[in-house]
């Protein structure tokens, strides 16, 4: 019994430790997932997300060039920037800020075309009031690459 409890604490401690490395999820970035509006922005499968970064205030923004991309990774992620070809691509970046528990995340939604802009949308995911969550401070983030369309882009939260 004592061994089980010690093992459980070891597993929980390992899960709570920030690794300092961004979780990368990439499913064949050469073949992006197609959104409904083919002429507009298209979500690609390349994304990074995690529960630990250096951003303590909630914010979201677009990155459209390599200089800002490298600055983001150097300043916010404390890591080398992954290679992204920004000719025809943009990065949507969402940082949820310092939160008191785990269980938070970001869901990127398919882009929507409005009259004069392409809207890159995201939803903040929050734990349900009765759910069990990690009792540790987190700074969740998500970054997703989009192939650009011809219209100006805007990043917007859907509530």
**Tens place of pLDDT for every residue, the chain, 159 residues?**
444 443 333 333 334 433 333 444 433 333 333 334 435 667 677 899 999 999 999 999 999 999 999 999 999 999 999 999 999 999 999 999 999 999 999 999 999 999 899 999 999 999 998 989 889 999 999 999 999 889 999 999 999
The rounded distance, in Å, linking the Cα atoms of 43 and 40 is: 10
Joined together, the tokens standing for residue 30 give 């050469």
SS3 at position 157 = strand
Match 């959104």 to its residue by tokens: 35
pTM of the model: 0.74
The residues spanned by each domain of the chain are 22-157
The per-residue pLDDT for 124 is 96
């Amino acid at each position: 019994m004592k061994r089980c409890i010690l093992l459980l604490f070891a597993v929980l401690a390992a899960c709570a430790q920030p690794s300092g490395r961004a979780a990368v999820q990439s499913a064949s970035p050469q073949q992006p997932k197609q959104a409904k509006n083919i002429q507009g922005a298209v979500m690609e499968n390349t994304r990074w997300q995690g529960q630990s970064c250096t951003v303590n205030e909630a914010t979201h923004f677009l990155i459209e060039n390599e200089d800002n991309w490298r600055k983001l990774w150097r300043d916010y992620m404390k890591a080398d920037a992954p290679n992204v070809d920004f000719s025809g691509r943009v990065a949507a970046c969402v940082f949820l800020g310092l939160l008191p528990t785990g269980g938070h995340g970001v869901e990127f939604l398919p882009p929507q075309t409005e009259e004069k802009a392409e809207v890159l949308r995201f939803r903040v995911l929050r734990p349900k009031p009765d759910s069990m969550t990690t009792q540790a401070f987190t700074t969740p983030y998500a970054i997703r690459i989009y192939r650009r369309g011809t219209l100006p882009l805007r990043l917007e939260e859907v509530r």
